[in-house]
Structure 1
Amino acid sequence: MGGEEKVDVDVDPPADHEPRHPHSQALPIEAPTLLTFGEHDQCTSTRFASPITSRIPDAELVVFDGCAHAPIYQDVEGFNSRTLAFLRQHYL
């Protein structure tokens, strides 16, 4: 262990790099779709939000300020309000 050398590795992609995510190549979805992201989500970065949204016709994106991976629990009132508004607009 004493002879190991530490190497700093920059894991952040360049600013012009379009992130690749398994869901970025989504199949065509014809139904109006609400995509929700937490601003501080470390599981699914908001960097993926626009690429995913752009690949789904009639998709709407909502990023919840101050939330991480579960805005449904972290901003219950905001999440429910936004989701109900979307459902009323498209389905009810």
Structure 2
Amino acid sequence: MATGWAGDGAVQDQIDATVKDGIQRARSRLPSGPGLSHCEECEAAIPEARRRAIPGVRVCVACQEARDRDAAFCGYNRRGSKDSQLR
């Protein structure tokens, strides 16, 4: 339910745009180029199926999981806070 000057689908359009931005940001962080046959961190062999599924992969699953756990989310909502959307 949009109010004021916003159109009827404005809230859903904003949600869709936020999801699209998130997908683009995630895709931009994917590796590209030639991949490795062994992990650059622990030297374990990277399975052929993983190399085919993720072109340019440079780390094994275990090391990638560790990276994902350690990564801090640093995204921000450039469209404003939830409170500003409800006013």
Please give the range of the TM-score, normalised by the shorter of the 2 chains: under 0.3
Q: Which structure has more helix as a fraction of its residues?
A: 2
Superposition TM-score, scaled by structure 1 size: 0.27
TM-score (norm 2): 0.28
**Greater Rg over alpha carbons, structure:** 2
